[in-house]
Amino acid sequence: MISRVAEHCFWMSRYLERAENTARVLDVNQTLLLDFHVPSEEQWQPLLIISGIHDFADPSNAEAVQHHLTWESDNPVSIASSLLYARENARTIREVISSEMWERMNYYYLWIQGPVARAMYDYDRSEFYNQVKRINELIYGIAEATMSHGEAWDFYRMGKYIERACQTARILDVKYHMLLPTPDDVNTPVDTAHWSAILKSCSGYETFHKQRQDLEQGTAVADFLIFDPIFPRSVRRCLLYCQEASHKVSGRKKNSAGNEAERILENLVDWLRLATIDDLVKAGLHESLTRVINTIHDIGHAIHRSYFDFDQTRVMEMLQSQTQRQS
């Protein structure tokens, strides 16, 4: 498929996934506040940090932070911006995605721009965030059922899972920034509530409790969200999905090195396969997560170079050598 179109498809998917994850953390944080009366800057600043926003004027103002992360058009990672970009990418490749996908995406774009969404945000914020979460889930479902599972679909999945892997790592890293009042508060109700919130923002609360009772709770949650082999939001599972999609696109043969994106991706997957949660805790959980997040960034750049950035000079040299061989 056309490199430029593949890129639009990849980013459409990333933006949709990003909107969903931003809604997830905002919703959970908001719920958490209902239980604990902690100073509010401790509650909202971490959300800015994981979104990469370090210069927000009023980080302790709960409403201002939520507004910034939900509506602000100058904030490229706000929910409204993400949905706008997703829709703009979709509009550019309408001939590639299914009409059903486009229609829903356009519908929700109009929804978030209109008064109904504003009213819902004002009166029932939790339901508003749930609705935003459902947009991505709905469109993925429609795509799965109506779009050909060819190359465009593979790029859709590649974008989705690379973004989700990154978001899960960031959400987990929130805990690092959410300071407990004192070290003695470890394993107190506040600490437990934090871990529960993190699980919930990844829809992992129920699954986690069905299968884990062994480790100390913080370590157990981190282990689950990073390493779980079958939970669809764990970093590892997402990277495996991403790898699968990438191999489908590149047609890479088993045991061959693959392109640059695949090599970096495989390195990260291997590292996560061989490491244990104890290794990560020993190295520092925040430091390990930072390594994961940075590597995912590298993978993003490498995907760009491997698939989207068509190297015309190289291709022309290739064509030239073909012509010479033929003559």
Partner 1 sequence: MSAMRSLVHAELNATAPSFLWTDYIPHEKAWDELFGPGIAPHTHCHALAQWLGNLDIKEFQERRKSADLAFINQGITFSVYSDRRGVEKIFPFDVIPRPVAASEWTLLDAGLRQRINALNRFLFDVYHDRRILREKIVPEELVLNSKCYRREMIGFEPPGRQYIHVVGTDLVRDHTGEFLVLEDNGRTPSGVSYVLENRVVMKKVFPGLFQQCKVRRVEDYPQRLRDALLSVAPASAGDSPTIVLLTPGSYNSAYFEHSFLARNMGIELVMGQDLFVYDNRVYLKTTRGPRRVDVIYRRVDDDFLDPNVFRSDSMLGVPNLMKAYRAGNVTLANAVGTGVADDKAIYPFVEDMIRFYLSEEPILKNVPTYICARPKDLAYVVDHLDKLVVKAVNESGGYGMLMGPSSTASQRAEFREKIQANPRNYVAQPVVTLSVCPTWTDEGLGPRHVDLRPYIVSGESTWVLPGGLTRTALVKGSLVVNSSQGGGSKDTWVMENGS
Q: Given phi > 0 = left and psi -120 to 50 = alpha, else beta, which region is 98?
A: beta
For partner 1, the closer CB: 155 or 227? 155
Least separation in angstroms between residue 162's CB and partner 1 is: 16
Least separation in angstroms between residue 91's CB and partner 1 is: 6
Q: Which of 95, 122, 206, 214 binds partner 1 (CB under 8 A)?
A: 95
- When asked if residue 36 is in the footprint of partner 1 (CB under 8 A), the reply is no
For partner 1, the closer CB: 179 or 318? 318
For partner 1, the closer CB: 111 or 205? 111
Least separation in angstroms between residue 14's CB and partner 1 is: 17
- When asked if residue 88 is in the footprint of partner 1 (CB under 8 A), the reply is yes
Q: Which of 107, 145, 270, 282 binds partner 1 (CB under 8 A)?
A: 107
Residues 296-315 contacting partner 1, CB under 8 A:
307-308, 310, 312, 315
Which among 189, 172, 170, 191 is positioned nearest to 180, based on CA atoms? 191
d(CA 47, CA 85): 21
For partner 1, the closer CB: 99 or 187? 99
Tokens of 55: 């210069």
Tokens of 185: 């508060």
Query: Could you tell me if 49 and 64 are in contact, meaning their C-beta atoms sit under 8 angstroms apart?
Result: no
- Report in angstroms the alpha-carbon separations of 40 from 50, 58, 60, 94, 310: 17, 11, 6, 43, 48
For partner 1, the closer CB: 271 or 308? 308
- When asked if residue 151 is in the footprint of partner 1 (CB under 8 A), the reply is yes
- When asked if residue 116 is in the footprint of partner 1 (CB under 8 A), the reply is no
- When asked if residue 326 is in the footprint of partner 1 (CB under 8 A), the reply is no
For partner 1, the closer CB: 2 or 119? 2
Residues 227-256 contacting partner 1, CB under 8 A:
249
Long-range contacts, stretch 95-102, CB < 8 angstroms, 24+ apart: 96/1, 96/5, 96/8, 96/9, 96/152, 97/9, 97/12, 97/143, 97/147, 97/152, 98/142, 98/143, 98/146, 98/147, 100/142, 100/146, 101/139, 101/142, 101/143, 101/146, 101/147
Least separation in angstroms between residue 319's CB and partner 1 is: 5
- When asked if residue 323 is in the footprint of partner 1 (CB under 8 A), the reply is yes
- When asked if residue 122 is in the footprint of partner 1 (CB under 8 A), the reply is no
d(CA 13, CA 27): 21
Query: Could you tell me if 205 and 196 are in contact, meaning their C-beta atoms sit under 8 angstroms apart?
Result: yes
Least separation in angstroms between residue 265's CB and partner 1 is: 16
- When asked if residue 2 is in the footprint of partner 1 (CB under 8 A), the reply is yes
For partner 1, the closer CB: 156 or 307? 307
d(CA 206, CA 238): 19
Q: Which of 119, 186, 257, 316 binds partner 1 (CB under 8 A)?
A: 316
Least separation in angstroms between residue 71's CB and partner 1 is: 17
Residue carrying the six token digits 């996560």: 272
d(CA 306, CA 300): 10
| Interface with partner 1 (CB under 8 A) | 1-6, 88, 91-95, 99, 102-103, 106-107, 110, 151, 249, 307-308, 310, 312, 315-316, 318-320, 323
